[in-house]
Amino acid sequence: MYVRSLKINSLRCFGSADLTLQYPARKDVSPLHARNVNLLLGDNGAGKTTVLRALALATLSPIMSRSAGYVPYHMVRHGASQALVSADVLLNAQDMGSKAAPRMGSHVTAQLGVTIARSRDVEFVEASPGPGRRRFDEMFNDMSPAFLVVGYGATRRVEDAASFSPNEQLKRRLLRYQRVAGLFETHIALTPLTAWLPRLRKRNPGRYKQVINLIDRLLPEDAIFEGRQEREPEGEYLFRVGGTAAPFGALSDGYRAYIGWVADLLYNVCMGCPKGARLVENCGLVLVDEIDLHLHPEWQRSVVSTLSRALPNLQFVFTTHSPIVAGSLQSENIFVMERDSSGASVIRQYAERIYGLDAQQVLLSSYFGLESTRAPGFFDEIQKLSRGLKKGRSDVALKIMKRLSGQPEDGVEGPVAGPAPAKSLRRPRPR
């Protein structure tokens, strides 16, 4: 399943908003470097995570409205009685079940959505799938590869394999909600590799090799994964980083955060892969909040393109605050959340091209709208000094040059942090 477009009304910070997404089967746009990627930018509180939640709610609406384990919490915008979310989706062979058996690559359009109604302090979810409800029956079959939607919040963590129990989780949440629960609940644990990969090795050696190869491809260049464990069959998996082998638990936060959700994704892809199909042939929707979480800038440069190439049939929707991540994509892939004059969030796309620009250029672009990337106090000081240039004072010009280069000036070395200016360093974004 892919999402072609999403409409939101009165959901949290949004009044009314819509966006048209990129997806692997889309043919009405010019070729893109990452044809299956969508990136959400915006200030804190502007609605990036809300869009991810809206996508999960809409695409899984028949499940979410039936005691899946999801409890809406302040999802309806203040002052409204209900929120509406609808998605125009493409269903493929993987979603239609064995009875339909359409040819691979063919798609059927459908509408999915939810209404979240508020009654005093309580909110309720009701599905509004529209006509042809039977086509969503596969969503209620845990063994079916249909409707693969997986989501990861910003608080993702990997649970210790000894205490991880998928059966216990399924007692509290239906499977398809469990796959996106991390977007709504902060304490959701990811599936550890040791909880499923050793069993896969015995049960399906061919698929096991595919997983090993995919994890290795998804790592940065200085890291290697060969599927070896400290001790078999219960030991942690080893990763070679910079020439040194280390178990998963001894890796840095950045590696554990990234490998954690990637391994969980591959677990869900494996469990929901059509019989006889390769893992990379899986179609579905993957939602990741803060894709750059804990990642070094060098890794941020390539993480999106690596995921896009390794899993070309998955549709990705990421959020980020990283200008490096944003600069790795074309404008057609990027959506900006911002406030309108009423204070409600809206979704826009800009024509300005930032693909290939450096981090400072991206930060000074309309996508981030900064006037300067320098410390506020230092920026304010340079602004004050610059006023003297209008009077033709050469000593002021020399002083500015010394301050910008970090040379000692008047007994002070380098930039001096002064009080933050009252004005914002953000330029108004284009309308």
Token readout for 213 is: 């190869």
Please name each of the domains of the chain with its CATH number.
2-156+176-184+314-363 (3.40.50), 376-431 (no CATH)
pLDDT in tens, the chain (431 residues): 999 999 999 999 999 999 999 999 888 888 899 999 999 999 999 999 999 999 999 999 999 988 778 999 999 999 999 999 999 999 988 888 754 433 445 688 999 999 999 998 899 999 886 545 667 888 988 888 999 999 999 998 887 766 666 667 777 889 999 999 999 998 888 999 999 999 999 999 999 999 999 999 999 999 999 999 998 767 899 999 989 999 999 999 999 999 999 999 999 999 878 778 899 999 999 999 999 999 999 999 999 999 999 999 999 999 999 999 999 999 999 999 999 999 999 999 999 999 999 999 999 999 999 887 766 665 666 566 666 565 556 666 666 666 666 666 554 444 444 444 445 666 666 66
Determine the length of the chain: 431
Cα–Cα distance measured from residue 354 to residue 329, given in angstroms and rounded to the nearest whole number: 8
Q: How far is CA 174 from CA 140, 167, 314, in A?
A: 9, 11, 22
Q: What angle do CA 217, 221, 227 make, to 5 degrees?
A: 50
According to DSSP, the residues that pair with 56 across neighbouring strands are: none
**Cβ-contact 33, 355 below 8 angstroms:** yes
**Cβ-contact 13, 345 below 8 angstroms:** yes
Q: What pLDDT does residue 114 have?
A: 94
> What three-state secondary structure class fits 357?
coil
pTM of the predicted structure, to 2 decimals: 0.88
> What three-state secondary structure class fits 67?
coil
Q: What angle do CA 151, 154, 159 make, to 5 degrees?
A: 80
Q: How many other C-beta atoms can be found within 10 angstroms of the C-beta atom of residue 145? A: 21
Cα–Cα distance measured from residue 151 to residue 245, given in angstroms and rounded to the nearest whole number: 30
Q: Is there a cis peptide before residue 31, judged by omega within 30 degrees of 0?
A: no
Q: How far is CA 191 from CA 36, 82, 271, in A?
A: 25, 35, 12
CA nearest neighbour of 274 among 134, 139, 97, 62 = 97
Cα–Cα distance measured from residue 419 to residue 6, given in angstroms and rounded to the nearest whole number: 43
Q: What pLDDT does residue 417 have?
A: 45
**Cβ-contact 176, 149 below 8 angstroms:** yes
